[in-house]
Amino acid sequence: MKTKKMWLMLSLVAILVLSACGQSGGDGTEGTPDNGSENGGATSSIGEQVKHEIIGIDPGAGIMKATAAAIEEYELTDWTLIEGSGAAMTATLDKAIKNEEPIIITGWTPHWMFAKYDLKYLDDPKNVFGEAEEIHTVVRLGLQEDHPEAYQFLSNFKWTDADMGEIMTAIQEGEDPEAAAKAWADNNTAKVDEWIEGVQPVDGKNFKFSYVAWDSEIASTNLLKVIMEEKLGFKVDALQVEAGPMWTGVANGDVDATVAAWLPLTHADYWDKFKDQVEDLGANMEGVKTGLVVPAYVEATSIEDLK
Ligand code: PBE
């Protein structure tokens, strides 16, 4: 009688334990986030975990158009691209990583976030985000006649992802953008001297750049402002605007130049619209990239996995 009761209780306990395991999907014990991709219906999909949201930036950015195209091309029908800003995106990313939660963002290189966090691009087998992207210097028509010194300097300006990374990281760590740019210029005189070689300094001429508050472009624009003011005698205005006005300003001649034109793909729409009203001085940086980016702990490896 006693043994029978014990057996009954033991089997009851066993049943309870087993059913509890079944409900939790049998994972979640290692303190790692639940990226569920292989357990079919047992765990939620990456889409469900991030509420089918991709964290975007400002609506005028080329990467937003590319992401909208990716949603179409990869048939991510129930996905939404969230508008915001570069700063809001990195704040959301930071929070997700601190909580070890999955997140999908619109990302690009160069960017300090790749140095600060362990991130990866999702493969883009359909090449929606393009290949061999570059950052170009685009100037207003007539700049060569009006500002031959600036024209020559801007034609010489060419640097690398690593160079820009140094300024970006300093700014991200709290330094004032202009001070960070000045420190970089002081520590990289060989490069700066190459860009200003043979350029005749001027006496307080005004010069205007347009740029968007993307971290990469904050770094480049501040660097050129500092060099043109300190080494070439210009009085430089760096106009922070949205992507549309950044291009329109150069096209209608209100602005002298921008070093923030991502081509051939990211700003293809702006280029098609304004190419006859601007002059392209070519790439100031090669090998840049845009795409969908996730923390390394997210299991998905391709945009196709989002379906
Ligand atoms: N970006 C950074 C910009 C260009 C520079 C990739 C966010 C864009 O998408 O337009």
The domain total for the chain is 2
Which residue's CA is the nearest one to ligand 1's atom 2? 214
> Does 138 lie in the same domain as 125?
no
Task: Tell which atom from ligand 1 comes closest to the C-alpha of 288.
Answer: 6
pTM summary value? 0.85
Which string of DSSP letters, residue by residue, matches 129-169? T-SSEEEEEEEETTHHHH-HHHHHHHHH----HHHHHHHHH
Task: Tell which atom from ligand 1 comes closest to the C-alpha of 214.
Answer: 2
Quick check: bond before 264 cis, omega within 30? yes
Task: Tell which atom from ligand 1 comes closest to the C-alpha of 60.
Answer: 10
> Does 301 lie in the same domain as 255?
no
In the DSSP assignment, the letter for residue 223 is H
> Does 116 lie in the same domain as 53?
yes
> Does 102 lie in the same domain as 180?
no
Ligand 1 mutation target, pool 247, 263, 266, 285, most atoms within 8 A of CB: 266
Ligand 1 centroid – CA 270 distance (Å): 12
What is the rounded distance in angstroms from the CA atom of residue 102 to the CA atom of residue 80?
16
Residue 87's domain spans which residues?
Answer: 48-131+292-306
Which residue's CA is the nearest one to ligand 1's atom 3? 61
Give me 265's structure tokens. Answer: 């793909």
The domain that holds 98 is classified in CATH as: 3.40.190.100
Give the pLDDT confidence score for residue 90 in this predicted structure: 97
> Does 149 lie in the same domain as 247?
yes
Ligand 1 centroid – CA 8 distance (Å): 66
Give me 241's structure tokens. Answer: 């605007």
Task: Tell which atom from ligand 1 comes closest to the C-alpha of 243.
Answer: 10
Give the pLDDT confidence score for residue 23 in this predicted structure: 45
> Does 256 lie in the same domain as 143?
yes
Helices then strands, each counted (H, E), the chain:
13, 9
Give the pLDDT confidence score for residue 44 in this predicted structure: 87
Ligand 1 mutation target, pool 240, 290, 293, most atoms within 8 A of CB: 290
Ligand 1 centroid – CA 169 distance (Å): 18
Ligand 1 mutation target, pool 106, 108, 164, 267, most atoms within 8 A of CB: 108
Give the pLDDT confidence score for residue 281 in this predicted structure: 98
What is the rounded distance in angstroms from the CA atom of residue 291 to the CA atom of residue 128?
9
Q: Which residues line ligand 1 (CB under 6 A)?
A: 57, 61-63, 108, 214, 216-217, 243, 262, 266, 290
> Does 163 lie in the same domain as 240?
yes
Q: Is residue 123 part of a domain?
A: yes
Q: Is the dihedral of CA 78, 84, 89, 95 positive or negative?
A: negative
The domain that holds 238 is classified in CATH as: 3.10.105.10
> Does 147 lie in the same domain as 278?
yes
Give the pLDDT confidence score for residue 8 in this predicted structure: 52
> Does 90 lie in the same domain as 71?
yes
> Does 299 lie in the same domain as 284?
no
Give the pLDDT confidence score for residue 4 in this predicted structure: 56
Q: Is residue 72 part of a domain?
A: yes
Tens of pLDDT along the chain (307 residues) come to 455 555 555 554 454 444 444 444 334 344 444 444 444 445 789 999 999 999 999 999 999 999 999 999 999 999 999 999 999 999 999 999 999 999 999 999 999 999 999 999 999 999 999 999 999 999 999 999 999 999 999 999 999 999 999 999 999 999 999 999 999 999 999 999 999 999 999 999 999 999 999 999 999 999 999 999 999 999 999 999 999 999 999 999 999 999 999 999 999 999 999 999 999 999 999 999 999 999 999 999 999 999 9
Ligand 1 centroid – CA 200 distance (Å): 33
Give the pLDDT confidence score for residue 195 in this predicted structure: 98
Closest by CA to 129, choosing from 242, 252, 288, is 288
Q: Is residue 25 part of a domain?
A: no
